[in-house]
């Protein structure tokens, strides 16, 4: 049998690939307009980086990582998320010596050994933004406005921003104790994982997907009841700035990111369009992480959006389906030579031009032109070439204009598309 791709890892092929290019190009444009610079970190990192930052207790570290010993006997892991690698690079290159905020983005593959299904793969791709050395609520709001703006530009609708605040080292211990007391008296009904988690991090119980645990979580104390004044103010300010920017949101006091280093703002972008995989992206403030990884205390916030899920949501956006600006149907050798020259000239100016072999019949060429999704079709035969004019058809309106060949080329070159 022919060798097949690894389960949960997919090839990206046309016609899907233009959609991805559209997503990535739009993201790069939006990230730049918010002043983000690109960072690329290796796919392989030392396993310890993830076990220390994401935490041994999490599903990602305990069940989902692609970990192996390399030929030198070092334990390496294929990154399951981007933040840890970005923070490691930030520390290793001593970027922190320069005053922040440092706004960084990265786009690339992540690896988790999960059960594959629609919108869930073992190699998946994320658009990831991190802002390091920025403590204020304005940083949170700006990042959320960025994500909102990107979704809008992609034409992805029916996505809800869900927000919460997870408190800080001042107020969270009290909340954790309250949770522990609540769950301890109901331990019998919790799943095995949660019973284990209870002692180390009861917040993770709130995140458990098991039916029994979810039911019990319904009645658990809410973090909003424990916020200190500074956390409550921070959250109010984030919400005020979002409202001012016209970004709508919902709050959910049950939304948690169950890792100790998460502080204050936590959020998810949710959709009802993707069945069980309802998160398009998520993130939050992680003021404690950089210290956990051995760096100076540095407040930071970030998010990741999943490219596969965005691609599923962008089915109908005509933007990414754009075809060539011009299709030249040439009939005969001389018109073919003219078309060949004109196509090169236009392509050099960045205009996407297609043409077919001049030996094909007009009918066959028109069929190809239609299939290509070209915006315009130019039909050039011997007569047109002698006259120096030819009909240019706008494929969207069906309108046809008889124009000088030179003018057609110049117009398209000037438009650059
Ligand atoms: P997380 O790092 O788990 O918060 O994930 C952030 C985003 O990455 C999610 O909202 C998804 O869009 C995407 N994502 C996470 N895991 C997968 C996966 N296994 N397959 C596809 N997309 C994923």
Ligand 1: centre distance to CA 281 (Å): 7
Q: SS3 helix, strand, coil % of the chain, rounded to 5?
A: 40, 20, 35
User: Is the distance from the beta carbon of residue 124 to the nearest atom of ligand 1 less than 6 Å?
Assistant: yes
C-beta of 120 in contact with ligand 1 (< 6 A): yes
pLDDT at position 26, please? 96
Closest CA to ligand 1's atom 8? 306
pLDDT at 195: 87
Q: How far is CA 172 from CA 203, 208, 235, 282, 367, in A?
A: 10, 19, 15, 21, 65
336 phi and psi, to 5 degrees?
Answer: -60, -45
- Enumerate domains of the chain plus CATH numbers: 16-171+227-313 (3.30.930.10), 326-415 (3.40.50.800)
Residue 9, C-beta contacts closer than 8 angstroms, at least 6 positions apart: 121, 122, 123
User: Are 251 and 243 in contact, with CB atoms under 8 Å apart?
Assistant: no
Cα 54 from Cα 66, distance rounded (Å): 14
User: Tokens 């003219």 sit at which residue?
Assistant: 338
Atom 17 (ligand 1): residue with closest C-alpha?
A: 120
Nearest residue (by CA) to ligand 1, atom 16, is: 120
Please name the helix (run of DSSP H) or strand (run of DSSP E) that holds residue 224, with its range, or none.
Answer: none
Residue 262, marked binder: yes
Measure the CA–CA gap between 118 and 309, rounded to whole angstroms: 9
Sole residue written with tokens 């029916």? 158
- Determine if residue 158 is labeled as part of a ligand binding site: no
pTM: 0.90
Does the annotation place 367 within a ligand binding site? Answer: no
- 283-292 in b/e form (b: 16+ CB < 10 A) is bbbbbbbbee
Establish whether residue 308 lines the binding site of ligand 1, counting it when its CB lies within 6 angstroms of any ligand atom: yes
Q: Which of 304, 305, 313 to mutate to test the pocket of ligand 1 (most atoms within 8 A of CB)?
A: 304
Per DSSP, helices labelled H in 34-123 are 47-53, 59, 83-92
Distance set, CA 346 to CA 349, 355, 368, 376, 408 (Å): 5, 12, 20, 14, 10
Could you read off the pLDDT tens digit of each residue along the chain, which spans 417 residues? 899 999 999 999 988 999 999 999 999 999 999 999 999 999 999 999 999 998 887 888 989 999 999 999 999 999 999 999 999 999 999 999 999 899 999 999 999 999 999 999 999 999 999 999 999 999 999 999 999 999 999 999 889 999 999 999 999 999 999 999 999 988 888 898 888 878 778 888 888 888 888 899 999 999 999 999 999 999 999 999 999 999 999 999 989 875 667 899 999 999 988 888 889 999 999 999 999 999 999 999 999 999 999 999 987 677 788 899 999 999 999 999 999 999 999 999 999 999 987 788 999 999 999 999 999 999 999 999 999 999 999 999 999 999 999 999 999 999 875
Q: What is the pLDDT of residue 79?
A: 98
Listed in order, strand segments (DSSP E) in 20-178 are 37-38, 44-46, 66-69, 75-78, 102-111, 123-132, 159-165
The span from the CA of 200 to the CA of 194, in Å, is 10
Q: Report the pLDDT value the prediction gives residue 390, as an integer from 0 to 100.
A: 96
Interior angle at CA 174, CA 190 and CA 301, nearest 5: 90
Closest by Cα among 251, 308, 304, 250 to 274: 308
Q: Residue 306 C-alpha to ligand 1 middle, in angstroms?
A: 5
Measured between alpha carbons, how far is residue 170 from residues 53, 174, 220, 263, 350 in Å?
Answer: 21, 8, 20, 10, 57
Contact predicate 108/80, CB 8 Å: no
Structure tokens that stand for 186 in this block: 């109901």
């Amino acid at each position: 049998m022919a060798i097949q791709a690894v389960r949960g890892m997919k090839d990206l092929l046309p016609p899907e690939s233009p959609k991805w290019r559209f997503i990535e190009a739009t993201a790069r444009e939006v990230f730049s307009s918010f002043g983000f610079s690109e960072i690329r970190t290796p796919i392989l990192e030392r396993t310890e980086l993830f076990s220390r930052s994401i935490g041994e207790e999490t599903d990602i570290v305990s069940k989902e990582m692609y970990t192996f010993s390399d030929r030198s006997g070092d334990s390496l892991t294929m990154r399951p998320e981007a933040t840890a690698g970005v923070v490691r690079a930030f520390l290793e290159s001593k970027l922190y010596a320069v005053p922040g905020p440092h706004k960084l983005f990265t786009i690339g593959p992540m690896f988790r050994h999960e059960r594959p299904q629609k919108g869930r793969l073992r190699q998946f791709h994320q658009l990831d933004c991190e802002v390091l050395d920025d403590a204020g609520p304005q940083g949170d709001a700006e990042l959320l406005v960025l994500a909102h703006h990107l979704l809008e530009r992609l034409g992805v609708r029916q996505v809800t921003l869900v927000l919460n605040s997870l408190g800080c080292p001042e107020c969270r211990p009290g909340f954790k104790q309250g949770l522990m007391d609540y769950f301890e008296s109901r331990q019998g009904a919790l799943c095995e994982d949660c019973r284990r988690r209870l002692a180390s991090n009861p917040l993770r119980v709130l995140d458990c997907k098991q039916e029994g645990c979810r039911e019990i979580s319904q009645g658990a104390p809410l973090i909003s009841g424990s916020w200190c004044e500074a956390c409550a103010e921070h959250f109010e300010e984030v919400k005020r700035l979002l409202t001012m920017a016209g970004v709508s949101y919902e709050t959910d006091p049950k939304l948690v990111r169950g890792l100790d280093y998460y502080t204050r703002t936590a959020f998810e972008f949710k959709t009802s369009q993707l069945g069980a995989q309802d998160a398009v992206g998520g993130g939050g403030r992680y003021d404690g992480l950089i210290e956990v990884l051995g760096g100076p205390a540095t407040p930071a916030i970030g998010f990741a959006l999943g490219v596969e899920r965005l691609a599923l949501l962008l089915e109908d956006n005509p933007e990414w389906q754009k075809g060539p600006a011009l299709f030249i149907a040439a009939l005969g050798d001389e018109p073919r030579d003219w078309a060949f020259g004109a196509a090169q000239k236009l392509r050099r100016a960045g205009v996407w031009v297609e043409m077919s072999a001049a030996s094909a019949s007009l009918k066959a060429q028109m069929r190809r032109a239609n299939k290509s999704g070209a915006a315009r079709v130019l039909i050039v035969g011997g007569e047109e070439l002698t006259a120096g004019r030819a009909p240019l058809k706008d494929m969207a309106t069906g309108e046809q204009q008889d124009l000088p060949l030179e003018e057609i080329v110049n117009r398209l070159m000037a438009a650059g598309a």
